[in-house]
Structure 1
Amino acid sequence: MNTSSFSSAPLPGKGVDTAKTFILPDKCFQNRVGCAWGRGNKFTIYPRSQTVSKTPSNTSQDKLLNIRQDILLFTPILRKLVNESNGTFLSLQKAADIAKVSDNQVEFLKLSRQFRSIIRVCIENLQEAASKEENGIEKNNILSHITIFYSIECIWHLCEILYIDNIPGDIVLPYLLEWVRFHFPCHEQTAAQLLEACERGSEEHKDYWDTVVGMVVQGRVDVARALLKLHSAGESNEFKLVDNSLRSMPVYSVYGGISTGEFTISWKHWQAECRSKLSSRVLASQPKLELIMRIIIGDYTAFESIRSKYSSWFDILGGWVMFTAPWSRRHELGGAAAACAGMQASPRSHLDDMVRALLEGDLHQVIHEIQQISDNGWFATHLTDILFHCGKLNIMDKQQTNVTSRLRDSLILEYGCLLMEHKSLWSVGLSYLASCPPEGLRRAELILERMPVETEAKAMRVIAEAKKHGLIGVAQSVCRCTSARHLSARRLGGALGWAVRARGAGAAARAAHAALRHYTQHATLPAVDLLLTAGSAMLLSDALLFLGKYCDFHRLYKTREFKKAAHLLVSLITSKIAPEYFWETLLLDTLPLLESDEAVFTSNDTYEIMLCLELRSSSLDSEKADLLRLALARNLARTALAEGDGTEEQAQ
């Protein structure tokens, strides 16, 4: 059967529901086709013939087309992200359990920063891989991955500020400025170079004024003042006036000893002074300085005029809040976002929509937007989970019941099932499913039962994970399947071992019968050590119990404990659990003991063997049966005389 494979993955930054069109390569697919879902995100397209041929054909009618989705997280360089974030996720679940009885907000913030650190390391690894990649297509793929995870880290950081961190006084400006500076470091490198050179006349640099304005907009007033002093006219009255205005700008601090109201009065008084200086036309000869003064008084047109200098409106967001309402609380940032987004000079991006929704406090829209990122649900799963445990999603439950918990569970279940498809990440996926009982464990049970188990090492791992999460039925099923695989390959020792581990009567009986049949042909017993130490597991089936006792008989015979061996052999003969095909072997095992120098069978034992021989005479050919009858008769005579004279003790 010929097979072909295609893969499909969403484009970076696009929605996961982006349509993908395939041109079927073979003429056999042009008429009628059928489709069948396989395991995971795969399906198979096959040609459907209108007539059924009775003879096999080697034509293109035997073609299968396998289509699967490329999973971004299965890329080797991103598996570290999956594994490390899993550890933080599990720590978060433990912290959430503690939070049910006491406040654990500090721990939530710590774990959020761990997630961001993991993302940052992932970005660095991708950047390193991109620098070494020579293949153009692969390099573009890695660069698209960098774009995706850069956006993820950016949104997570902002979400951490607005919804996870416990900000003193709820004054968000210092944290917002930090977010802008960290993710949109516009002109930072140029400023560092100019300050390091520390040369008068730095305005000759082509980016000098853009850098000064950029530092002001990012709230780095001290850097802007230092750059202004490097201007050749830095000692002029105009420059001193702007420098004095920047130096005297009030900065609010929760620990500064003044109330928000007092700071507001001081701030408005300072801005009034700045407006007065601006309206006096003192700076008319210096339009760049005038622009700076217009920015610090919060003039919308001034910000609008510099918007084109930046790649996005996020760059000026911190400056807009700083010079219009530095006392803003988190819930008051929606207006600032609308004002800055209104200055948009380029088409809106997916990142724009996410940031805007975050600043407006629309978490429902935020979760909807992050689900559209083509990272296979990693971001949506972990961010929603931490917001849920922080209690920030309760606003979504106003109209319905348990919306947040069901949303959180659905994302985790989907992400866990995705990881279960991978041959080495399935155990990570299992830990996610286990965090959403009972639905998660039911899904885990169904997936594990259908998981290919190619090696004993993987079987042992699956069993260990299943037992850890209480899926005993799965563990037994894997043991039974592994036992059957060993049995089909005639590895009888392995089949017996896995059957005993499975604790299944059927598997144990099949393996035991196979071992007994093997003994009848080759006179060797498999897994002797296992059979002698299996204990109560031997009670799983009559066949396994018989095999174990028969193995014990061989042990006693080899150690020359003949009387005990004879007693055990008689009990096996009279127990009526011996298989039909094994009666010949069982009866013939009495011959060496019957011919021993010392009588080991009592007269009663001899009569029992005689009775069984007559009842099972068809199991032996006539020559062997006659030989056994002769040995029994001689032993009976010997034991009868000894017992009658009382000169020997009866064999026990």
Structure 2
Amino acid sequence: MNTSFQTNKISGRVKTFVLSDKCFEKNNIACSWRRGNKFCIYPRSQKIRQTAETCENIILDIRQDVLLFTNILRKFVNEINGTFLSLQKLAQTANTTDNAVEYLKLSRQYRSIIRVCVESLQDAAEKETDGLEKHNYLSYITIFYSIECIWHLCEVLYINVIPGEVVLPFLLEWIRFHFPRHEQTAAKLLEACERGSEDNPNYWDAITGMIVQGRIDVARALLKLHSSADANEFKLVDNSLRMMPVYSVYGGISTGEFTLTWKHWQAECRSRLASGAIQLPQLELIMKIIIGDYSAFESIRIKYSSWFDLLGGWVLFTMPWAKRRDMAAAGAACAGLATHTRTHLDDIIQALLEGDLHQVIHEIQQMSDNGWFATHLTDMLYHCGKLQILDKHQTDVTLRLRNSLILEYGSLLMEHRSLWCAGLSYLATCAAEGLNRAELLLERIPIDSEAKAMRVVAEAKKYGLVGV
């Protein structure tokens, strides 16, 4: 019989459960492994025949709670499997062609599938009336939203081949997509297009939010809605924003030339700020932000849910020419703005910015997605040639890590009555070790119909598993 357990205590990551059946109170307990990640426990006495005489015959099946086996996520697993197999086929041509663009397409395909999954979960959560089930859906949404956010940043920093490696435009795109704070307020104010918009309590927050996201034209348009927009100090700020240099690798100037232009512009902004011509505190704050004043970013940090909301703005106004290697310093500066206890997502984002992909993989393995994310992201980075993991002897173990994650994930899918075919396809990508494991697991699949037996035989033949 299957049973549910009451959680008694959580110590770190270990849960303790209370067995509710009285049969286990006075007897010892025996355990036996079953197929997959399952085992059963049953009462067992030290004395011969005592258990049978004094206790019911109860067997409790214990199994891992697999998020991916829920009905709403099975379609997601199958769609992701198709992209995974496409990536393996593409990787086979890596020695003869440059597949960077194709890798990027597949990475975006992964993210697209994740976003569709999140939307499906949101729809299901809205329709769900059961409180516990609704809570589960909301937890799933949080998990997969974080996954897509991390994958997107990883794509920007490691998968996308960026001309000149200047990451700012793509970093700002990541910020705008995942942290669209104040965007709705700005849109409503611009749609109304009324003078005196400063009466809206979120007016100034919307302006600074647009500036931090690099949406300078929107910020200028909002400033023009102020009742004092014609005042000299407003014109000074507007002119400073209008004259802000924007770097482009296709702009025809070198990074060095742009740096000189940028520093000259910021020097003019500092001069205007020091002149005392700008008296309104909100305008003064804007000027401090665009000259990269750290204290200005500290003052607005409380208005954002995380420090990486401000990451794009910090890079924009301190080193807009920044390359991937400069992201560690930017991440450290913004992480210093944190006003609350660090979260798991904080650690992952900072590790990504620091280029510590081994730590990133370690951290994402702790996410409650049954290893799906770690498996697929590691595989993608491995094929892109961006991943190198060394052991304590400085031996490259990248392929071993990639294979171990795929083997574990494939074995997990082999436990499911309808996802075992997908699991088999994962195991088959790990050469001899994967096929040996596939053969063992395929033999243990319960056969409850002739059709399923024929399917098992066909799959075994497909992968050359003649021993099944």
Superposition TM-score tier, normalisation by shorter sequence: over 0.9
Q: Greater RCO between the two (CA within 8 Å, min separation 6)?
A: 2
Partner residue of 1:632?
Answer: none
> Which 10-residue stretch deviates more, 184-193 or 45-54?
45-54
In structure 2, distance between residues paired with 1:402 and 1:408? 12
User: Are residues 1:46 and 2:42 paired?
Assistant: yes
- SS of 1:22's equivalent? strand
User: Which position in structure 2 is the counterpart of 1:365?
Assistant: 359
**Paired residues for 1:489-508 under 5 Å:** none
2:125 equivalent to 1:127: no
Q: Aligned partners of 1:209, 1:384: CA distance in 2, in Å?
A: 42
Match of 1:246 in 2: 241
Instruction: Please show how residues 539-578 of structure 1 align to structure 2 within 5 Å.
Output: none
Match of 1:35 among 26, 31, 38: 31
Query: Equivalent residue of 1:166, what SS?
Result: coil
Q: What per-residue deviation string (whole Å, max 9, x for no partner) do you get for residues 116-161 of structure 1?
A: 0000000000000001001111101100000000000000000000
Distance 2:464 2:396 in 1: 26
Instruction: Name the residue aligned to 2:371.
Output: 377
Paired letter, 1:282: A
Label 1:331 to 1:407 Cα distance change in 2 as closer, same or farther (>3 A): same
Q: Is the CA contact (8 Å cut-off) linking 1:5 and 1:66 kept in structure 2?
A: yes
> For 2:136, which of 141, 146, 156 is the aligned residue?
141
Structure 2: how far apart are the matches of 1:333 and 1:255?
A: 22
Paired position in structure 1 for 2:266: 271
Which residues of structure 1 form unaligned runs of 5+? 475-652
Counterpart Cα distance in 2 of 1:389 and 1:8: 44
CA deviations on 1:154-211 (whole Å, 9 max, x unpaired) are 0000000000000011000000000000000000011000000000000000100000
Runs of 4+ in structure 1 over 4 Å off: 54-57
SS at match of 1:240: helix
Q: Which letter maps to 1:6?
A: S
Counterpart of 1:36 in 2: which secondary structure?
strand
**Superposition deviation, residue 270 in structure 1:** 0.3
Map 1:470-489; keep pairs closer than 5 Å.
470-474=464-468
Q: State the shift of 1:249 in Å.
A: 0.2
Q: Does 1:443 align with 2:441?
A: no
CA RMSD of aligned residues (A): 1.7
Aligned residue in 1 for 2:91: 96
For residue 100 of structure 1, report the CA deviation from its aligned partner. Answer: 2.0
Q: Cα distance 1:428–1:276, how it changes in 2: closer, same or farther (>3 A)?
A: same
| Larger helix proportion of the pair | 1
Quick one: structure 1 residues 55 and 22, their matched pair in 2 at CA, closer, same or farther if it must change by over 3 Å? Answer: closer
Amino acid at match of 2:257: E
Measured after TM superposition, the shift of residue 71 of structure 1 is 0.3
Asked if structure 2 preserves the Cα contact closer than 8 Å seen for 1:8 and 1:67, the reply is no
Contact persistence 1:6–1:67 (CA under 8 A) = no
In the other structure, the counterpart of 2:255 is 260
Q: How does 1:144-293 map to 2 (within 5 A)?
A: 144-284=139-279, 286-293=280-287
Could you tell me how far 1:49 is from its partner in structure 2? 1.1
Distance 1:319 1:399, change over 3 A: farther
> 2 CA distance for matches of 1:283 and 1:54?
89
Whole-Å separation in 1 of the counterparts to 2:357 and 2:139: 26
SS at match of 2:18: coil
For 1:452 and 1:101, locate their aligned partners in 2 and report how far apart those are by CA, in whole Å: 43
Q: Among 291, 297, 322, which residue is 2:291 paired with?
A: 297
Q: Distance in 2 between matches of 1:428 and 1:60?
A: 42
What is the aligned length?
Answer: 465
Q: Which amino acid aligns with 2:21?
A: D
TM-score (norm 2): 0.97
State the secondary structure of the residue aligned to 1:435: helix
* Whole-angstrom CA distance in 2 between matches of 1:33 and 1:55: 11
**2: distance between equivalents of 1:65 and 1:350?**
34
User: Quick one: structure 1 residues 470 and 370, their matched pair in 2 at CA, closer, same or farther if it must change by over 3 Å?
Assistant: same
Aligned partner letter, 1:92: L
Change (3 A) 1:203 1:33: same
Q: Structure 2 residue aligned with 1:462, among 432, 456, 459?
A: 456
Return the alpha-carbon distance in structure 2 between the equivalents of residues 260 and 54 of structure 1.
Answer: 83
Q: Secondary structure at the match of 1:326?
A: coil
Give the distance between the partners of 1:238 and 1:443, measured in 2 at CA. 72
Are 2:5 and 2:20, in contact at CA under 8 Å, matched by a contact in 1?
no
Once the two structures are superposed, what CA deviation does each residue of 1:488-515 show, in whole Å capped at 9, x if it has no partner? xxxxxxxxxxxxxxxxxxxxxxxxxxxx
Measure how far apart 1:28 and its partner are: 2.4
Give the superposition deviation at 1:400.
Answer: 3.3
* Equivalent of residue 22 in structure 1, options 17, 25, 32: 17
**CA contact 2:220–2:238 (8 Å) conserved in 1:** yes
Contact 2:43 2:51 (C-alpha < 8 Å) held by counterparts: no
The structure whose Rg is larger is: 1
For 2:367, what is the secondary structure of its paired residue? coil
User: Is there any run of 5+ residues in structure 2 with no aligned partner, and where?
Assistant: none
Match of 1:406 in 2: 400
State the alpha-carbon separation in 2 of the partners of residues 252 and 215 from structure 1. 18
Alpha-carbon separation, structure 2, partners of 1:200 and 1:385: 54
Identify which range, 396-405 or 160-169, moves more after superposition. Answer: 396-405
Deviates more, 1:358-367 or 1:64-73: 64-73
> What's the counterpart of residue 310 of structure 1?
304
Contact 1:397–1:404 (CA under 8 A) maintained in structure 2: no
Q: Report the CA distance between 1:18 and its aligned residue.
A: 2.2
Could you tell me the TM-score, scaled by structure 1's length? Answer: 0.70
Distance in 1, Cα, partners of 2:396 & 2:424: 24
Distance 1:439 1:387 in 2: 21
Please tell me the residue identity of whatever aligns with 2:137: I
